[in-house]
Structure 1
Amino acid sequence: MSNEALIDQLSKKLRPVRARTRGLNAAVIGAICVIELVLFLLLGGMRPDMPHAMGQPSFWWKLAGAGAIALASGAAAIISFAPQDSPRRGLQLVIALLMFVLAAGWVIDELRFGWAVLAARLDWHQGIQCVYKMVLLAIPPVLGLGVIMRGGAPTDRNGSAWTVGIASASWGAFVFVFACPSDDPLYIAIWYSVGCGLVTLATRLILPPLTRW
């Protein structure tokens, strides 16, 4: 078979990719996330001591940190769905932002406690429940970004999957902040990292083969 015949045969199997604007994609994902947050709060997900929690620096640290990472990684994911863009620069920005958030948490922790009573502070039984809830809350943005990614034309599916996982995991963490019973920076750093890590790794493994075009 000649090269031209082979190219013709392969091109017949290609499906056209409908162009979408980044603004539309961002609006769709934003709507999904806002709906999830509103439903979560309306169904009684908010912690009962919210007025007290809002007076704690660690509450605003975890809320702002999770929100900033979700926005940065979500933007990086949507940008990476275009064939001419790579997610690598966005991933570097997200990693740098994550390091900054963790460092800020360490400073807050040092100002409040110290290094004592490690096991009691981690509270593994409650921590596992937190991880479980964060994973569930990350599912809607994973599905939304996954559908958009499949309809796009990313040239680096693995990199895009990483950014989708980070964005979805951090949004799940952001929503869970309103229910999280702990304001201990050490607890938050450990268990939020576990929950976000599981979502990110699972998304990286699952999305690339499902979004092949």
Structure 2
Amino acid sequence: MDDFLDNLAGDLAPVRRRSPRLEILALAALCALELSLFLAAGLARPNLAAALGLPVFWWKLISLGTLALLGFATALRSFAPEVSPRRGLQLMAMAVVLALGAGWLFDAAMDGGGDLAARLDWRDGLHCVGFVVGLSAPPVALLAALMRRAAATHAPGSSLAIGAGAAAWAAFVFVFACPHDDPLYVAVWYGFSCGLTLFLVRLLLPRLARW
């Protein structure tokens, strides 16, 4: 039995002690840098000042910002071997339902009827997908490195939290460039963009972030 256990543990290395405060600071710094570079590149919508006065614009920012914070917090907590990400993921699911409900109320108040194809605008929608997937890559890479270093024991759940948090953050950043304030457009294309990011991260990360 001793030889069997020695063989199992023979190629294992000590896990470095984590510093949650440094992890949070690193993630916050990366997100701040990404948002700053995005705005500095001149990608903000031309009528951003006017958009800041629209309640639906703040609905987008608050909903996505809340989801990003929940996702990042859930992911970082789940890197501890004894912590499960399940509760955090459940809170995120509830937040998504509340955000969609608020969007439906905005849509009803705005009387957003009209041509469905014009409301969804698939060309801008594909543009949204590309940006969200691309902007999610830096936080995914950082969190994957932290996950691997911490030797998380709930890889599938941690991957879901990472994907959800990074996708919501990427969509939060893209809000400043997106010219569409139609709640239906936001629900469809932002939802698809975040869902695609979540699927890719959940598919790939458990294979790439093993310890």
TM range (shorter): over 0.9
Matches within 5 A, 1:43-122: 43-122=41-120
Secondary structure at the aligned position of 1:179 is classed as coil
Q: Which residue of 2 aligns with 1:176?
A: 174
Q: How much has 1:36 moved relative to structure 2?
A: 0.3
Instruction: Let me know the Cα RMSD of the aligned residues.
Output: 0.9
What's the % identity of the aligned pairs?
Answer: 48
Q: How much has 1:93 moved relative to structure 2?
A: 0.5
Rounded Cα–Cα distance in structure 2 between residues aligned with 1:211 and 1:134: 22
Rounded Cα–Cα distance in structure 2 between residues aligned with 1:184 and 1:16: 51
Q: Which residue of 1 aligns with 2:3?
A: 5
Show structure 1 runs of 4+ deviating over 4 A: none
Choose the corresponding residue for 1:36, options 34, 38, 48.
34
Kindly indicate whether the alpha-carbon contact (under 8 Å) linking 2:163 and 2:202 is maintained by their aligned counterparts in 1. yes
Kindly indicate whether the alpha-carbon contact (under 8 Å) linking 2:112 and 2:182 is maintained by their aligned counterparts in 1. no
Q: Which residue of 1 aligns with 2:148?
A: 150
Secondary structure at the aligned position of 1:45 is classed as coil
Render the CA deviation track for 1:108-131: whole Å, top value 9, x for unaligned.
010002443222100111111111
Q: Which residue of 2 aligns with 1:136?
A: 134
Aligned residue type for 2:102: A
Rounded Cα–Cα distance in structure 2 between residues aligned with 1:64 and 1:117: 28
Deviates more, 1:128-137 or 1:18-27: 18-27
Give the unaligned 5+ runs of structure 2: none
Rounded Cα–Cα distance in structure 1 between residues aligned with 2:43 and 2:197: 21
TM-score by length of 1: 0.97
Is 1:20 matched with 2:18? Answer: yes
Give the unaligned 5+ runs of structure 1: none
Rounded Cα–Cα distance in structure 2 between residues aligned with 1:189 and 1:150: 33
Equivalent pairs counted in the alignment come to 211
Rounded Cα–Cα distance in structure 2 between residues aligned with 1:152 and 1:33: 21
TM-score by length of 2: 0.97
